[in-house]
Structure 1
Amino acid sequence: MKLAIVILCLLSVYLSEGQSIEQVKFTGRAELMLELTHRYKSNYLTISHHQYRMAFTELHPYESDLDEIVTEKHNFHGHTWMIDILPDYGDDQGLVTPIGFDYYGGLYYNKVLSDEVGGHISTINYLSNNNILYEDVIPDLVNQSGLQSGGLSKNDRFMILSTQGAFTHGKDDLYVIEYIENNWSHMTNLGSVVNTKYQEITPFLATDNKTLFFASDRQGGKGGYDIYMTERLDDTWQNWTRPINVSEVNSIQSETSFCFIETDPFAYFIRSDELDVYGDIMEIPIKQNIVEDSSFTEIIDVYKKSYFKVVDGASENNIPAELIIVEDFITRKKESGIFEAEDLVGKTLVFKSAGYFSSKLKVGESVPLGENIIYLQPLTAGSSITLENVLFERATANILTSSYEQLDLLVEVMNENPDLNIRLKGHTDNKGNPVSNLELSQNRVDAVADYLRNKGINRRRISGIGYGGKYPIASNETEETRQLNRRVEFEIME
């Protein structure tokens, strides 16, 4: 009996470690790709299904031409590869990430720039093989995180995007769009099996248009980001198998941008160094068993309408809610917490429920079809709520004007709940001097407290403390996860 239990336990570990992947078998160990080891660190890798061609970003901290794409030739695995290198400037100037090459050799890529008020402007661009640059229009494309990545299908028909919109499950979700009649479709969220409250980034769709690889920093992984694999179950693009950790690739460091083509016996990915998300290009030998998709079935829209569903941020259960349409001075109440969204395009909305912290958002030109979840955090004693959009000038305690809307929402909630007392908590990442970080976090807490007091909140209801980088909620290994640690929270006091 004991032997049987041991065998079952070992089998469970065996399956959970990614060995049940039938589409791709790994025939060796991951090794550093010496042919592509440059003087700069690399990131965001993509590969062409049609030519021996690769594109990736390199961190060029002192360059200024954001649109520069450097093309080189390298020989490896018996073929001459074209290598397109896009400068990646990080948070200071923006972010450029490749999406994929189409049949004609053109390159799709993302560009994310910071605006003047602490937000982000995202575009998807297409550089043709004769160097003509276009900007593609993607309905519903909104980015609140400053990070965006993607992958293009071999038939150039589907694009998987990773971005943080108004209705994501977490920081960055995966969406699919389809190219129909010379236009990209509205974005469809891949659903809660794939997307979590953490980040899902760098998607790669295999030639069957069903097998999807992506990176995530979800719980249960080996490092900051791990590579996962899942398989699409139907044409809604919202039903998937449970993602499997690809253990042969993953390590205690971060792995992203896993990709391969059927004519090459290797897969490629990025493994970070110990200090940052930027790292080295790795290769690992594989054998694949993937049948290319030859069908032309369009994405099925199972939902004919767009609607918002308000849920408890802890339990994810529906809760009764109010919807306030700010411009029209209209309030709607629903016991179900479900509101049809077709007449809400372009409106500013506030979602409220008794005992919860309210949520405010500006609806864009359209609302994605189907269910758009609004998470409200319960105001229970001892719980901490992050002020998602409270931002400061770099390395100072000066609050950006884009933060006022979120802070005013906190003022409103405190006025509606006169017995609510809070403790503000300031956090930084672990970069820089720990003493300076501690002082900076305290100064930012004091700045937020002063703002609330100036809005009429009694000072006795507010306390605050800065913790510096003592309590991270994510890895400090990568820039994408470090930004989660730079935050201001408020704790509900007894």
Structure 2
Amino acid sequence: MSLAEKSTEVKLELQEDFWISTKENEVWRPAKGLSEIINTTSNEGAQSITADGQYMYFTACGRKDGLGRCDLYYSVREGDNWSQPRNLGPTINSAAWEAQPSISADGRVLYFVSNRKSGKGKMDIWRSELMENLADGRQRWSKPVNMDFNTANNEMSPFIHASNQYLVIASDGLPGMGSYDLYKLTLQEDGKWSEPENLGYPINTYGEELGLVINAKSDKAYFASNRIEGKGKDIFVFDLPKEHQPPMVSWLKGKIYDVDTKENLYAFLQLIDLSSKDTLARIHSDRVNGKYLLCLPAGKEYLFAAESEGYLYYSDHFSLLENQEKNQPQELNIGLQKLVTGSEIVLRNVFFDTDSWEILPKSESELSILFKLMNQNQDLIVEISGHTDNTGSEEHNLSLSENRAKAVCDYLIAKGIEKERLLYKGFGSSKAIADNNTEEGKALNRRTEFRVVKY
């Protein structure tokens, strides 16, 4: 177990650094120091990295800019390098001991351990939300909240699963089998965590079990234990029983680039639950190579959007309602169009009932992004166009497509966009983009488009 992860009573005598090893032909290569920028003559430990590999949060002890004995820091990956670490500041760190960070997959929620005086016990687990990434590279976090499950003793080594719905902790203050046992909590529909559930034997024993992490497939777990006498704390791996597995997740990865120049772009990406309209993830693509990675928990319908200054946004629709076992990464490289006269996009998340022009509630997330684009570019004049498949008469399809386009314009006008900036037109089935002889093709042909008339 890392010295940076132990209690304040432990004397820091050994110097600890981060090391990295790469796997080639199923063999791990010799480890090397992670970065001279991050590793120092003091101690670094207990790192936690966002799913896209862009942000690393870790514990560092005895640094000159520290606020206490051990503080939390973060570093940003830029291409193949890590940035100079930054102290998370006085909102997160204190004169007490802060350590063992666990960052959510999208980097928006941070769990960590502290023995600050305002806690419930000796060591408590705290939660904070990212409020803003500031222009100078600093981050602004909310005031940490003490978790309800903390006891008068010690809660340690939090691990938040990529689904954001499954949390593992270690505790010596809850009913258990040894000095420290591992417990799971699941996120309930009301947004609160369930009561901690002991993971039981043979995971927990009379010894200490700490620091459990679970792989992306949710079927294997790793943890530290001193169950073997004379060996200290060792790392163990086991197949996670079905009853203890977190929700399945899928992954969406790719890169963002200029569709004309092919240059990589720095873009803002978000993932929205179409049913609840909750924003589940907000991330940025890599500043150097434009790459991104997002976690998609199973059992939901998603809007995925990418935005970059001076460009039309991109949106897409993913449904993991039916295939909840799908966990293979999906690749999506996105070319963004510059915001110029003539550029156009498909509004993939504007939905209507069959043979109706009434906008369905789950369209609101996409329309809100479209409104923001119009509102931020006051001289923008656009045309909304409606399109159908070839079912029914052409006269009927022209009327239906025009009414659907008008409905989108009416929505934007109701939000405050001047009607002089909005044109609408229905094309029926005359501009098919796919084969109307297949259901998949018909679905693609039923669409709403957005075209820049003047900018």
TM-score, normalising length: structure 2:
0.40
Larger Rg: 2
TM-score, normalising length: structure 1:
0.38
Identify the structure with bigger relative contact order (alpha carbons < 8 Å, sequence gap 6+). 1
